[in-house]
Amino acid sequence: MSLTVAAIKAAKPKDKGYKLSDAGGLYLMVSKTGIKSWRVKYRLDGKEKAYTIGQYPDYSLKEARQERDIAKSKIRKGIDPTDERMEAKRLQRIQAQNLFGVLAYRWHELNTPRWTPRYALKVRQMIDRRLMPYLSDKPIHQITSADVLTVLRLMENEGIGETTRKVKNYLQGIFAFAIAEGLVENNPVTGITPALKAVPAVNHQRALPFAMMGSFLTSIDAYGGHPVVKLGLKLLILTMTRTGEVRFGRWSEIDFEKQLWLIPAERMKMKTDHLIPLSRQAIDVLTELKQHTGHTEWLLRSPNTIEKPLSENAFLVLLKRTGFKEHTTTHGLRSTASTVLNEAGFRPDVIEKQLAHEERNQIRKAYNRADYLEERTEMLQWWADNL
């Protein structure tokens, strides 16, 4: 006997679940909690099975019968509707995992340990702002060179060529990761450079001519700014370090007796410990600096709070106030030192080691383990004396 809508509505829960049969193997399963589910009983390969269509009233009696007929048509062809649904769900899960947004974040997570926290944050923000609104929900294998070009051209139209170049590099890395995972065969970013506007070369490392160094140091002394900022910039110049390495320096890293400064790997760009010999002039700067910040953790503590290091803009402001911003940057001061020391005849390997540059030649890097401490001690003292 076939079911009626009235019988379905009148069905109430009992102590145990029970069935209300319709025709053609269709029945309504009423659970003890009152949930009503449509199912189809069928046999395939000698086994009795049940295929769940869905719940009532999501599926009406008429719709449940239509779904039963579709399922039985598949069964006659040897297709198991239950297995087919499970496979569809499996493919859906795979597709969800292989969406661009999921893979982009996974690529970022895998690379984060080799980046500084600040750089990792910048990359994440760039992905969120520049890529996710356009590519997040697309399966990675469906993204074409045209899709990538559309995203990058939107950025070009904003006049941010250098940022466009960086985002293109991030995309290159994300798709290289997808290739390694076996999710795509080709990188759609490869070969699109000719379709983008050329980015003008930007010189971020304006080296201060050494002939101007004397007046520069004099102007630092004459400037009436905070002594911690002035001393910090002098320490940077004397040790040829990066801004972040000086700003986040701690007193626990300084050995006055051995005249050494050990910067731990986690704060270095190349993620290896960096031992810096301290010249007599660097020791003098640190001795004076200790009068201002020796009671704190930081070599260069913020003038505004004892718990934080100096602001990242402090040196830039000092360069601007002394009138030297148009001539150099803090990174450019490292270039000045490198140029002068090379011209003075110091060995390039020693200079590069002091600058904490990674050896690009991997074979040379593997066999070049010396830290040239004695030569660097002599070199930095010569540099300080000439300054």
* Residues with active-site annotation: 242, 269, 331, 334, 357, 367
Task: Tell me which residue of 144, 153, 146 sits closest to 197, measured CA to CA.
Answer: 153
Contact between 75 and 39 (Cβ < 8 Å) = no
Residues 6+ apart with CB under 8 A from 20: 3, 7, 8, 11, 27, 28, 30
End-to-end CA distance of the chain: 103
> Hey, how many other C-beta atoms are within 10 angstroms of the C-beta on 224?
7
What is the dihedral angle through the alpha carbons of 320, 323, 329, 332, rounded to the nearest 10 degrees?
A: -170
Contact between 368 and 359 (Cβ < 8 Å) = yes
Contact between 258 and 282 (Cβ < 8 Å) = no
- What 3-state DSSP class applies to 351? helix
List 49's β-bridge partners, or say none: 42
Q: What is the CA radius of gyration of the chain?
A: 34
Residues 6+ apart with CB under 8 A from 125: none
Contact between 278 and 286 (Cβ < 8 Å) = yes
Alpha-carbon span 182 to 354, nearest angstrom: 41
Structure tokens at 232: 């910090």
List 27's β-bridge partners, or say none: 21, 39
Structure tokens at 69: 């007929």
Structure tokens at 214: 């004397």
Longest dimension (CA), the chain: 106
